Amino acid sequence: MNADTRGCLDRIAKQICDQVGPRKYQVWFKNSTRLRLDGEHLQVSVPNQFIGQWIEKHFADDIAAAASDVIGKRPKIHTTVDPTLFANLRKRQLDHQANSVSRQIERATPPQRSNGNGNGHGNGKLHHPAGGDIRLKFRLEDFVVGDSNRLAYQCASEVVADPGKQFNPLFIHGGCGLGKTHLLQGVCKAFNDRQMRWMYVSAEEFTNQFLWAIRSKKLDAFRARFRQLEVLVIDDVHFLSDKKATQSEFLHTFNEINTAGRQIVMASDAHPKLIGQLAEPLVNRFISGMVARIDKPDLQTRRTILKRRAGELGLSVSAEVVDFVAQNVEDNVRELEGALFKLLAYRSIDSGPLSLGSVRTMLSDHISTIAPAVKLGDVEAMVATYFGLRPADLHSSRKSRTVSTARSVAMYLARKHTGLSFPDIGKYMGNKNHATVIQACRRIDKRLADDLVLEWQTSDGAVSLSTREVVDRIEKEMEQ
């Protein structure tokens, strides 16, 4: 990297700090991210999927604005996982991240006015309660369909064609970076074009608006805003876990929309039955319609995605290069895009053709580090969701029974299914000592051998289940 590029990235980092404030920058960016700029593309490398998702959700506009101020144009932002960055994180920073997430849940943010048709959103924009509008980026027509996602796509298309009928509610679940948000936004785009009353919010945003409505004594207005919709689309439903009051409010909202024959579409990282600390009436409502899973893309789907995205990036790649990347980056669409962006960055240095040999060299580190880390990230996210926690809680130094139990299960499953070493697992899960991972694995092994129970706390009280049942439930979801 030359001095001019390095200086430009330093100025962007400083501008991001000015945009988000020193405290948030310290928690979420310093030591957690690495920037790389190539023309109209800005790559943000992150240590794991959780931090990447949090930054995308809360700071994407700040990053783009900062880069625009420095380089004079708004770049396209790409987030990619680089697990080597976890070595830079420290215990205090990980605890601050977990606390930041908790404070975000507790803090109510006043909703702003939407600028569309009724309770919907006009001009192809999402209303974002935290401030500002985000354009709908995805259309159903652009979704790459394969065997791994065909059912979810067909259900989403049917919902658009005939809302409130056959697939109501529609609940889509699957791992990170597999296309859930693309389908949800595609549905919203179709309804927006038809000028229907729709709303797209995450479960976190629903929670924040609900809490603000209570504190500001505007609960009636909140209920009218949501319950009169023709289409309600909720992302990240697993965020509702362990939020008893919000779950109750959402249940009433769900019932009113659903019984009126209007459409509800939801997405989550896990099947409704595997979302920890989620009220049984909600689980029953969620599975009363259509539950569709998105799996990791198969080889042919990965090839198609690579060809399409390469074309959008203006990157010329041969069929053999596409095959090589598709065969070696298997887990999700985001990592496929990350590999393409890395090739694009190298291409800016050397304008020659991308031969298979040069691509092997360019992506050797990417392929060797991403594959196991993504699998570990999937395990971690699934375990956290099952126990009603966030990955940040597992990274922290908290030692409550719930967090400790979930952390031990995650370490055990990571060791069993990823093939990573004890030190690597410990480093990824909050810079824990390898001895901590060994002890956690032995603890779960013993409980399995002796048929002992695991106990943890929820908002409804203590839960006690056999260790075998807990492990089997999570592994069953991982295998689907």
Taken in order of first residue, the domains within the chain and their CATH numbers are: 1-89 (3.30.300.180), 106-294 (3.40.50.300), 378-479 (1.10.1750.10)
Angle (deg, nearest 10), helices 180-193 and 150-161? 20
Question: In this structure, which amino acid lies at residue 372?
Answer: P
- Where residue 131 falls (left for φ over 0; alpha for ψ -120 to 50; beta otherwise) is left
Burial of 457 (0-12, 13-18, 19+ CB in 10 A): middle
Compute φ and ψ for 49, nearest 5 degrees: -65, -35
Residue closest to 275 by CA, chosen among 245, 250, 241, 244: 241
**pTM (two decimals):** 0.68
Q: How many Cα atoms within 13 Å fall on the side-chain side of residue 92?
A: 4
Q: What is the pLDDT along the chain (480 residues), one digit of tens a residue?
A: 566 777 888 889 998 998 888 888 888 888 788 888 877 788 888 877 777 878 887 888 889 888 888 888 888 888 877 766 766 666 666 666 666 666 665 554 554 444 333 334 433 344 433 333 446 778 899 899 999 899 999 999 999 999 998 899 999 998 877 889 999 999 999 998 888 889 999 898 899 899 999 988 999 999 999 999 999 999 999 888 878 899 999 999 999 999 999 999 999 988 898 888 888 899 999 999 999 999 888 889 989 988 988 888 778 888 888 888 888 887 778 778 888 887 877 766 666 677 788 787 777 766 655 555 557 777 888 888 888 887 778 887 778 889 999 999 999 998 888 878 888 888 777 778 888 899 999 999 999 999 999 988 876 678 888 999 999 888 877 766
